[in-house]
Structure formats: C-alpha cells, structure tokens
Amino acid sequence: MKDVVVIGLGAFGSTVALELAKRGCNVLVIDRDEEQVEALSQYVVNAVTADATDPRALKEAGVENFKIAVVSVGEDIASSILITMNLKELGVDYVVTKATTELQGRILRKIGADKVIFPERDIALRTAESIANPSIFDYIELSPSYGIIEIVAPPQVIGKTLRESQIRSKYGLNLIAIKREVPIIDEGGKTVLSEEIIVSPAGDEKLIEGDVLVLIGKYDDLERFKKLRR
Amino acid sequence: MKKEIDPGILDDLKEVGRFYLLHQRFKEAIESLKKADESSDVPDPEIYYLLGMAYESIRNYEEARNYYEKALQYDKDFALAKERLEKIVGK
C-alpha cells in the first residue's frame, strides 16, 4: 500500500486524494483552509490544517515519512515552489507538482520536482482537438514521439480490407482494435445497436463506414493519417 | 391462417431500411427510411429511431441526436430511443 501526501485541496487536489484513498493508499492531506481539510478528513487516513510553505509545519505533520507527494496549490506559483522545495529537502522521493504555464514547469523542475503536470493545458488541448476535428475521439501520448489515437475511419480506407487499406505499409501505423456499432435484433425482437470491439483485427477484416480505428504509431505518422479525413 | 398482407408502401420501405441497417449498409438504410418517412402521412417514431441508429453507426452524432429526439417527440415513452440518446450525450 502506498503512502501519499497531498498538499492543496482545491478541486484537483481533493479529487486526487479521494481517488488515492479509494484505491487503498494511505493518504495525508494538508491545506491552510480548515474547512477543506475537514471536508476530506473522513475519507483519508490523516488530515492536517497547516501552512505547507513552512518547513516546520510539514515536519510536524510527519511528511518526512512519505515517499510520494502531490502538490496542487492553484495559481500561487511562489507557494508551489516553496512547498516543492521543502518536500525535497525533507527527503520525499517523488514529488508531483501542478503547474499552469510552461515557465512555471521549468522552474519547478529546476528546484527538484520529479514530475510537473499541466492538467488545464492538457484538457484544453483535447477539447480544442475534439472540437476542431470531431473524427478524433481520443489521443493518448505514450512518449513525446509515440501515441495512440482513436479516429473515425477516413473515406480512403472504407470498403477495403485491413491489408488493402495499407495502414501499416503506407502509413506506418498499427491497428490495435476496431470499434463498431452493429445493428442487431435482440432477444425481444427489437432492433438495437451493439458495440463490437474487434481486437487485433486480421488482414482480411473489412473496414466499414463509422468504424473507429484505434491506432498506435509515431506522432508524425499519426498526424499524417489524421489529415486524410475529407 | 392467412396473414393479411399490408400493401402499404410505407411498411415495405421501412422494412427495406431495417434490412439494410442490419446488413450495415447505412447509406441505403438512410435512403429507404427517409423515403418511408416522406411517403407517410402520420409520423412513425420507429422510422426516426432506425434513422438515428443508422446515423449513430456512421458516427454522425448530430443527425443521430436529431432523429432520436424526433422519435421521442412523437412517442415520449420510447425507451430504446431514450437509451440511445443518453448514450451519445457529449459526443
């Protein structure tokens, strides 16, 4: 079971703390706002009202015994920096800090944050992408150069078998699965839709209109494939 | 027992549309179902539900939503249409 300290209990920090607790982690939450701490206290192992920018307060709360910390103190970058630094000095192995801008991220990395996350930027990117390009359902970054995409099959491959579509030979991508809504007659004689997922489809699988392709590949190849649409 | 044959073009077109839908020939399904709708004097919520599914299958969620809503407009207790509509929320 992992021991995790979560500092800053806004919407983000509270959710992280609750979800960690749900997954069986021992969670210590710290925030300056007594009400926020109180609200979470029944769900986590320990909840402390303290100013985490003060190293003594952190020590008193027992932070030294934790290997993992999550810091999300909102817009206040000065506090984020101080808290991250305090945690590293107290010997916390792995500190994850939330940032809102690239510059903040760079500073946080310099002073020892092991991982900097940009939740707002990440969701903004996804939102923009899904509005601008509704045929893309999801994108998962595996590394800066590799990713997985869920995309509606472009007209160029519809009606072709997977082999004929040249997804691998021409576009350099691998098809992990096909998601398909299949109209069927159910036991009650009603016409309904049933979602079918064809995992690692064979070369002779025919692609039909409306298929959602789950593809893995290099970022540049995925970008090239995305542009096929229309 | 002799079954009464309904000579109505409406039912034929609707069944042709359903046949195409079940064979995943969505363009033909949409065509037949739209014709069925046009040739009918009384709106048939089932036609709209089938059209909704055809559009949902080809991931045209906007049209799918329109037709499911239309199905519910003429039959507010159409549970299957309601179910689909809830599934595509946010898509």
Cβ separation of A209 and B27 shorter than 8 Å?
Answer: yes
pLDDT confidence tier of residue B11, bands split at 50, 70 and 90 = confident
- For residue A23, being part of any structural domain is answered with yes
B30-79 residue pLDDT tens: 999 999 999 888 999 999 999 999 999 999 999 999 999 999 999 999 99
> How much is the ipTM here?
0.81
- C-alpha to C-alpha distance for A138 and A147, rounded to whole angstroms: 10
Asked whether residue A204 is domain-assigned, the answer is yes
Please indicate, yes or no, if residue A199 is contained in any of the structural domains: yes
Is B3 contained in some domain?
Answer: no
Please, which residues 44-63 of chain B have a Cβ atom closer than 8 Å to chain A? 50, 53-54, 56-59
CATH classification of the domain holding B55: 1.25.40.10
pLDDT at A137: 79
Contacting residues for A23 by C-beta, under 8 A, at least 6 apart: none
- Decide if A108 is inside a domain: yes
Q: What is the CATH number of the domain that holds A79?
A: 3.40.50.720
What is the structure's pLDDT at B6?
A: 53
Stretch 112-141 of chain A: residues touching chain B, C-beta under 8 Å: 135
Here the CATH number for the domain that contains residue A169 is: 3.30.70.1450
Task: Please determine, for residue B3, whether its predicted confidence score (pLDDT) is greater than 50.
Answer: no
**pLDDT at residue B2 in the model:** 40
Cα A187-B34-B69 angle, rounded to 5 deg: 65
Q: Do A181 and B57 touch (CB under 8 A)?
A: yes
Range of the domain at B79: 9-87
Distance CA B81, CA A196 (A): 20
**Distance of residue A10 Cα from the nearest chain B Cα, in angstroms:** 26
Q: Which domain holds residue A205?
A: 129-226
In chain B, which residue's Cα lies nearest the Cα of A158?
B58
The reported pLDDT for the residue numbered A8 is: 95
